[in-house]
């Protein structure tokens, strides 16, 4: 390449007392090299996690040697939370972590002021105690137009505790595979067992209804039950 005012291509390190960068190209003979503009990248927005409040919990060992943690978590923040995550720490008598379980509650989002249940099962361990850390980030929790119309619970002659009920689709569109969580509450207001179930039929037309029935083998001193519609 040749021509008036042009030279061979170069790659040079240009330095000043304040800055240093690499320049490659076809500089014009005698041209003054000026400092390149500084471009600041826009800061990446990272949402700070917000905590869920533990309002009820219990733990028990079943006949198969599995340890169950059952809890209710309330969103006491002024905003909905999404991308919920939970860490359950199973502790020794000295409160040392014997096992940490990263998991999710029954739903991945929860509206402001609402409650989400949690049920975790651990094999081969009987901790002396446990702790729960849970939270999420600010977002919009989807609302499921499903209303619980009726429910009842009782111990049957076969030795199990049954909860049954009916839900109605209060929206304008068909609901496919909606879920409900049933939580047993004992006489000390502790959540002692929980299950998730799909009502039948699993597809509910607008203004249509579906029923559910769930069986519990563990139900110490059950006083009542609570039902949660899961988004």
Give 161-217 pLDDT, tens digit per residue. 999 999 999 999 999 999 999 999 999 999 999 999 999 999 999 999 999 999 999
Please say whether the dihedral angle defined by the alpha carbons of residues 216, 106, 51 and 131, taken in this order, is positive or negative: positive
Evaluate if residue 3 carries a pLDDT over 90: no
State percent of the chain over pLDDT 70. Answer: 80
> What is the band of 46 on the pLDDT scale with cuts at 50, 70, 90?
low
CB atoms within 10 A of CB 151: 16
Of 19-23, 74-78, 103-107, 194-198, the range with the lowest mean pLDDT is: 19-23
Evaluate if residue 36 carries a pLDDT over 80: no
As given in the structure block, the two tokens for residue 198 are 């799909």
Fold that domain 50-138 belongs to in CATH: Immunoglobulin-like (2.60.40)
204, containing H or E segment? strand 203-204
Burial zone of 110 (CB within 10 Å; 0-12 exposed, 13-18 middle, 19+ buried): buried
- CB-side neighbour CA atoms (13 Å) of 211: 5
Q: How confident is the model at residue 197, as a pLDDT?
A: 96
Q: How confident is the model at residue 124, as a pLDDT?
A: 94
- CB-side neighbour CA atoms (13 Å) of 180: 30
**Phi and psi (nearest 5°) for 65?**
80, 15
Evaluate if residue 58 carries a pLDDT over 60: yes
Q: Comparing C-alpha atoms, which of 226, 212, 230 is closest to residue 71?
A: 226
* Higher pLDDT pick, 103 / 36: 103
Can you list the positions of beta strands (E) in 156-221? 161-169, 175-176, 179-186, 191-197, 203-204, 209-216
* Higher pLDDT pick, 33 / 20: 33
Evaluate if residue 7 carries a pLDDT over 80: no
The correct CATH number of 146-230 out of 1.10.600.10, 1.10.275.10, 2.60.40.3230, 3.30.1310.10 is 2.60.40.3230
Could you tell me the residue ranges of all domains in the chain? 50-138, 146-230
CB 26 within 8 A of CB 39: no
Question: What's the mean pLDDT when you consider all of the chain?
Answer: 85
User: Do 50-138 and 146-230 fold alike per CATH?
Assistant: yes
Q: Comparing C-alpha atoms, which of 163, 155, 149 is closest to residue 196?
A: 163
Of 18-32, 134-148, 195-209, 216-230, the range with the lowest mean pLDDT is: 18-32
Residue carrying the six token digits 């949402």: 47
CB atoms within 10 A of CB 129: 12
Q: How confident is the model at residue 231, as a pLDDT?
A: 85
Residue 186, C-beta contacts closer than 8 angstroms, at least 6 positions apart = 58, 192, 220, 221, 222, 223
């Amino acid at each position: 390449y040749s021509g008036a005012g042009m030279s061979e291509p170069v790659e040079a390190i240009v330095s000043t007392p304040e800055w240093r960068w690499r320049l490659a190209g076809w500089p014009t003979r005698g041209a003054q090299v000026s400092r390149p503009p500084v471009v600041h990248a826009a800061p990446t927005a990272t949402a700070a996690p917000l905590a869920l409040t533990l309002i009820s919990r219990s733990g028990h060992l079943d006949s198969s040697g599995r340890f169950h943690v059952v809890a209710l978590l309330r969103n006491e923040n002024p905003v909905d939370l999404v991308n919920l995550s939970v860490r359950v720490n199973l502790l020794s008598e000295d409160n040392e972590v014997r096992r940490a379980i990263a998991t999710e509650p029954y739903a991945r989002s929860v509206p402001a002021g609402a409650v989400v249940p949690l049920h975790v099962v651990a094999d081969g361990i009987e901790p002396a105690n446990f702790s729960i850390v849970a939270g999420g980030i600010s977002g919009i929790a989807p609302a499921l137009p499903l209303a619980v119309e009726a429910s009842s619970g009782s111990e049957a002659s076969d030795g199990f505790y049954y909860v049954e009920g009916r839900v109605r689709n209060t929206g304008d569109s068909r609901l496919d595979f909606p879920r409900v969580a049933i939580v047993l509450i004992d006489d000390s207001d502790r959540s002692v067992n929980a299950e998730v179930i799909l009502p039948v039929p699993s597809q509910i037309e607008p203004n249509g209804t579906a029923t559910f029935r769930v069986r519990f083998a563990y139900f110490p001193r059950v006083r009542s039950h609570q039902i949660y519609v899961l988004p």
